[in-house]
Amino acid sequence: MKVGVLTGGGDCPGLNAVIRSAVRKGVQEYSFEFVGVRDGWLGLLKNDVVPLDISSVRGILPRGGTILGSSRTNPFKHENGLERVRETLASNGVDALVVIGGEDTLGAATELSRQGINLVGVPKTIDNDVSGTDYTFGFDTAVGIATEAIDRLHTTAESHMRALVVEVMGRHSGWIALHAGVAGGANVILIPERPFDIDEVCEQVRRRFEINYAPIVVVAEGAVPKEGQLVVKDRSLDEFGHVRLSGIGEWLAQEISARTEKDARTTVLGHIQRGGTPSAFDRWLATRFGLHAIDAVAQGDFGCMVALRGTDIVRVPLAEATAQNKVVATPLYDEFGVFYG
């Protein structure tokens, strides 16, 4: 059997670990052949594939990003996309795909599976918003990076007695903001699941200054004020119909300064959260996902996604995993006693 491996969407720490474990086990245990699809779904549209073997995945475990490249390409937004995908697979003799991606990449995979393409999904996203799995790899690394940034910002905030707003990633869900904000001792944490009241945010900031303490506000990029609109700098859309987010942090800092007459500055972590070497947990989880994905391919269990449940790796239907985003539940958010607007 010849298996194609594809990484789509935003880059993420741990992608190379999945590629490595899938290829190593596939070759050594099942005698599979492998090809890598370049730049996500774009590679299948352009017939851009490269051979993969054990030597080509050697040494990539600790590397961030993906050796195969990635893109936010939606094959169904391109002329004859489905037919071009089929042609590329057929011309290269590819019998099945391992598709590594987040909500958009796996959403396209779900539709391709319905159209008869043999594939198995692997959940990847720093946002941790894929349903069906307790954790996605990349999330732990992103939280660690954001927490370290918040730790460092505390000292600057205290030295200058100013409020600092830290904008982290999280389009539909606030997992990074919540985890990093709690771990970093933030005073205000704002997430997309709970629209916030800017007056109450400013009141929390005033209270911190009254006790001679400089506040830290952590906000997910997708957070929105009550009775307001999503705040963004750029309203252009990608191929999956998403606005390119960023802007809420700067807006918040301006509002805090104007309403409290205290200095407020913004730090946007952005793609720093995606880059660099994966944490030990993400290497471990990504490796397990790759091993189990190849088992699913070998057993012909297509149309599924490997997932973490507790400490076990299980398989869930792709359609179930991509039906909705996994969001932060209100009880989980409230148990920390953090301010949410």
| 208 annotated to a ligand binding site | no
| 140 annotated to a ligand binding site | no
Q: How far apart are CA 188 and CA 171, in angstroms?
A: 18
| 221 annotated to a ligand binding site | yes
Q: Which two tokens stand for residue 124?
A: 């990847």
- H-assigned helices in 171-247: 175-183, 198-210
Q: How far apart are CA 129 and CA 131, in angstroms?
A: 6
| 216 annotated to a ligand binding site | no
Residue 159: partners with Cβ closer than 8 Å, 6 or more residues away: none
Nearest alpha-carbon partner for 214 in 142, 150, 144: 150
Is 234 a residue of the active site?
Answer: no
Edge-first strand listing for the sheet containing 163-168: 188-190, 216-220, 163-168, 264-268
Edge-first strand listing for the sheet containing 49-52: 49-52, 33-37, 2-7, 96-101, 119-123, 304-309, 312-317
How far does the chain reach from its first CA to its final CA, in angstroms?
A: 54
| 274 annotated to a ligand binding site | yes
Q: How far apart are CA 71 and CA 292, in angstroms?
A: 25
| 272 annotated to a ligand binding site | yes
Q: How far apart are CA 293 and CA 7, in angstroms?
A: 14
Q: How far apart are CA 54 and CA 57, in angstroms?
A: 5
- H-assigned helices in the chain: 15-30, 41-46, 81-91, 103-114, 139-160, 175-183, 198-210, 248-260, 280-298, 318-321, 330-334
| 265 annotated to a ligand binding site | yes
Note whether 111 and 90 are within 8 A (CB): no
| 127 annotated to a ligand binding site | yes
The active-site residue, picked from 127, 140, 282, 295, is 127
Q: How far apart are CA 316 and CA 305, in angstroms?
A: 5
Catalytic residues: 127
Q: Which residues are annotated as a binding site for substrate?
A: 125-127, 162, 169-171, 221, 265, 271-274
Q: Which residues are annotated as a binding site for diphosphate?
A: 10
Q: Which residues are annotated as a binding site for Mg(2+)?
A: 103
Q: Which residues are annotated as a binding site?
A: 10, 103, 125-127, 162, 169-171, 221, 265, 271-274
